[in-house]
Every structure is written in C-alpha cells, then in structure tokens.
Amino acid sequence: MSSDAVQQALILAHQTDAEPPPALVRTGGLVNPKRVVLTLHRKGVRRFVIATGPEGERIRATLEGDPALASLELTWVDAPEATTAGAAIGAA
C-alpha cells in the first residue's frame, strides 16, 4: 500500500423521509452503510465517520454489535436535526 492511500472515509447515512430509510435498504443482503464500510476496508480504509440524520439511532442500532464490523473504527456523528445531506456532512 502506498503512503498516500486513503485511510479514513466519511459515509453519509443521512436519509430522506422514505420508508425504509435508504441507509437501511439491503443490497445483496447487506444494509448499504455496512456494504460501503466493508468494501472500503478491503481497499485499506481504517477509520470511518458515519454521519446520520433523523433516523440515526435506528441506523446505528442496525450496525452496532455487528461482528463483521467489530474490529473497525467507527465514529458516529448523529445530527437528528439535519434536514439535508449537507447539514449532516456539516455536523461531521
């Protein structure tokens, strides 16, 4: 791995008022944020900041305690008042 490899990533798990929230939609059996984290981890990313909005607690509850993510550094930024993706990114 080169010294300039990306080692951290911001994952936007902000959601719209859709049900289920897009961050809880499954693709190939995995909820989307988990799929992104595992894919980036295989590419060398070590630290993940996950920014959420109004459904943050629900998204976090889905991912926390998952054995596949247990060894990874996940930092949660919950912005329940963020009504836009930009606001969730700003909170992160």
Listed in sequence order, the residues at least 6 apart from 6 whose beta carbon sits closer than 8 Å to its beta carbon are 43, 44, 45
d(CA 56, CA 24): 11
pLDDT tops 90 at residue 87: no
Per-residue model confidence as pLDDT tens digits over 56-66: 888 899 899 89
Residue 3: per-residue pLDDT: 59
Confidence of residue 55 (pLDDT cuts 50, 70, 90): confident
